[in-house]
Structure formats: structure tokens, C-alpha cells
Amino acid sequence: MKYIINFPSTTSLTGIVYFFSLAFIYVSNINILNPLNVFCLILVFIAFLILFIKLIGKRKNLFKIIKEIKFELLIFFLFFLLYFIYANINIFELNKQSCQNLPVFVCKNWSTIYFIYFFSFFLIFKEFKDINFSKIIINTGVIFSIIGLIYFFYLILYSQFDIQKYYYFTDKLGVGPEMIRIFPHFSVTYTESSRNYEIFPILIAKLFIIYEMIKSENKKISFKDLLIFSLLSVFIFYSYSRLIWIMDGAIFLSLIILYNNKFKILKLYTLNVFIILILMSSFTYIYNFSKILNWETNQNIRTNITYYTLGRVSTLFSDNLTNYFNKKNQRAWFYYAPEKYKLDIANNNFNSEKEKIEIFENKVKKFMNSNFNSNEQRKLIYTEGINKFIEKPFGYGVMSAPVRGSNAESGILQVALEVGIFGLILFLIILFYPMILILKSKNTMNLTLFTFCIVIFISQIFTVYLWYNFLWFYLGLIFGLIKR
């Protein structure tokens, strides 16, 4: 018992739980890695068990601790209890898309599992003051970024040496082969599922490396921290996830408003922009003009990376600008045009400039916009979801939200549709309550946590993280720290 209490450290154990909880989500989306699921869960269970043995070893009165956090615990208990009740009295058929490959029992009762997960971390972060949570989050973000980069270069090399197997492999992953061959698109798993949940922990790692640099009394930032910041920034940008870009911008705006040392933050984000511009130029040269990569097929239809990137960025604020960059990016038309026009586009075989523009306007633009820009689709989902909520304000049941395969594309709307108005109120309290407490004490850590809460809130407006363990890890961290 004494050996377990003293070794390993609480930081290492918490890091194991966090890292392998994320690994469990990621490998679940790659069929060939499914056997690793069990291994990840075993490590998480063992690490949790040792952490609780350490907690008992500190001779802490668990009932006294619960009494100290009774209000916060009550909010979460009621929220998860509501989900448990709605899951088990649900008269609607469980939606298969939301459930994916998980057993029905797990799908319907995830709230019980995540309440235990959240409560455990709430206690751990409240009672163990020696946990270096920044180190855990930053190191995990770096590791997954490196894994994603290795995966990217592996696929690029695969496309160079065996193009047929490359096509077969990307087809198994569920992504189009152009996502890696034609675009410098970074991802941890390269599956058909959302990139947002993959990149979110990397985004949070970026927030905490900024925190570590800001809280340092040294005016000069270390080369190691700058290197980590640069790696995370590049990975985030080249994920091409527009929601992650928005949240990255929200971090910058929040920090520049909240912190006194605005010059240091501005320097960091100037570096951020500079590195991205350098890499964009390099990628454009390598992909579009050099002979470094030798692709025997589709040699003349490699998408212009600069126009592709500008087209993606402009979807955030201007449809006209998006259409302009899409029109300039003629090589990309190949992937969106009807079959009979592909050969002409590949060989730039048009009778006139007018004919080329007509093909773009009538045969390409609509499909490129629907692929590049999901704004209209999101508006339709949100409008339908709000209308359905108004029709039935007390909820439709767990995994039975009557929009887009029971995925409302918004955590807030998802809660409202699944468990109704009472669940929505509890979820909003969960999101806003720590912000109110944090603002009472404006030190560097609390201001960083406030930014953290803002990012989580934005994420829950535009996507659903309820089903992913990292959301409850982060909330356990935030609530645990503010109750110390």
C-alpha cells in the first residue's frame, strides 16, 4: 500500500487516464486498431484505481469532501440522472447513426459512465494539488500532433510507391484519396468521422502552452516552448476544421482582452501567422510546381494549395470571396465536376474562356460550395432543431433527436432535443457557473480557465462533445481547480 501511495506520481497516473481515454476514442474509429480498445480501457481502469488508493491513503473523509462540493455535484448529478431516466423510458427507437458500433446498453447509459468519470476527476483535481495538469495536456497534444504528422507523411510516401494500395487504404479509411495526396490535410486518424473532436485536445494544449509562457517571469520565451507552440499551431491550421479555427481565434481574443501582457500574446500570434504563411508557400511549391513528389496519376490536376486554403478561410465570412478563390482554383474543379467534364478540366481543354466560366458556374460551383462550406446545411439543421424543440420542449429521448441522424451539430441543441428544457437549463448552468466563480479571482490561472470555459461554450454551440470523454475530463479539471 505504501509503495502504491508513493509511486507512481499523481501527474503520471492522471496523464495515463487522459491520454488513453483519448486513445480509446481515436482507435475506435479505425477498424484495424480495434483490439487496442481493451488495452486502453484496462490502463485507464488501473490508473484510476491507484489514484483512489492514493486518495484513501491521504486519509481524506470522502463525505466531508462531497459536502464541500455539494452544489456543483448536485448540478451534474441531476443532469446525468435526467439522461439516465430519458434513456431508459425512451419510447423511440435508438438511432443507429448516433450509436455507431457501441453496444446499445453503453449508448443508452453513457451518462452513468461519464458521471463516474467526471466525479472522479473532480475529486482528483480538488484534492491532489501536486498534479501538473498543464504538462499532461500539453504533452498529450504534442504526442497526438506528432502521430498525425507521421500518419500524414506515411500516406504521402504510400502514394508515391504503391498508388493502387494507397487508393485501397484510403477507401478503407472512408476518406477520398485527394484529402492527403492533393491537400496538406492533417488529422490524427484520417477517418470519415469529425475532425473537431480529434483536434480539440490539441487546441487545448495550445491554450496551456500559452499559459505556461505567460506565467513565466522570464521575458524571453524558451525555444522548446516556441517549438511546441509552433507545432500545435501548424497542426490546428492544417486540420482545415473551420470550427477549430474559430475557437483558436476566440482564445487569442480572450487572452488579449484579459491579460495585461498583451505584447507577449501579440508576438506569439504574429509568429503563428508567419509560420502558417511560410508552410503554405512551401506546400504550394511542393504540391503544385516541384518534382519532389512524383504522382503518375492525376499529375495535372493537383489542387492549388493556396487557393484551396483561402477558399476554406473565406467560407467563414464571405460567399462571394469563396466563389472567387474556387474559380481561381481550376485544378480543384476536377473533383466536383460531372464525369464528362473531368477530362477537359484536367487538360484545360476549353473552346473559350466563356465556356470555362460557364462550366464552373453551372456544373462545379454548387458542388464545391456544398463541400467547402457547410454553413447553409448547419443553418437548416439548427432551424429544424429549434422548431422540433418548440414542438416538444420536454425532449424526444436519448439518441433520438429528430434531426440529421440524431446529431443536432450543437451540444446545447442536442441536450434540449434529447432531455428537454430542464436538461438545457442544467447544461447551461454547467457551462456558465465556473465562469462566474473564476471572474471573482483574476490571477493568471483563473484567466486561463476563463478562456478555457469560453472555448468549451463555443464548441457546444457548434458541435456535440457530450459523447466524448475529454469534455468531462476538462469540466472535472475546471470545477476541481476552482473548488480548491
Chain segment 6-17, per-residue pLDDT in tens: 557 899 999 999
Nearest Cα neighbor of 242 from 185, 313, 317, 321 is 313
Higher confidence at residue 28 or residue 296?
28
Collect contacts of 143-147 with beta carbons under 8 A, ≥24 apart.
Answer: 143/19, 144/22, 144/26, 144/188, 144/198, 144/201, 144/202, 145/202, 145/205, 145/231, 145/232, 145/235, 146/231, 147/188
CA 296 to chain centre: 35
Cα separation of 373 and 237, whole Å? 16
Which of 207, 235, 209, 232 has its CA nearest to residue 222? Answer: 209
Cα–Cα distance between 269 and 254 in angstroms, integer?
13
Using the predicted structure, report yes or no on whether residue 177 has a pLDDT greater than 80: no
Domain boundaries, the chain: 1-59, 73-131+398-484, 133-270, 278-375
Return the pLDDT at 183: 75
The mean per-residue pLDDT over the stretch 450-459 comes to 96
Q: What type of residue is 336?
A: Y
Query: So what's the pLDDT on residue 402?
Result: 86
One-letter amino acid of 408: A
Contact 255, 265 (CB under 8 A): yes
pLDDT at 371 over 50: yes
Q: Average pLDDT in the 363-390 region?
A: 84
pLDDT tens per residue across span 196-237: 888 999 999 999 999 998 887 666 788 899 999 999 999 999
More confident residue, 240 or 441: 240
pTM for this structure? Answer: 0.91
- Which residue shows C-alpha cell 490546428? 236
> Is 340 or 102 the better-scoring residue by pLDDT?
340
Question: Is 471 buried (19+), middle (13-18) or exposed (0-12) by CB count in 10 A?
Answer: buried
Q: Residue 185: pLDDT above 90? A: no
* pLDDT confidence band for 60 (50 / 70 / 90): low
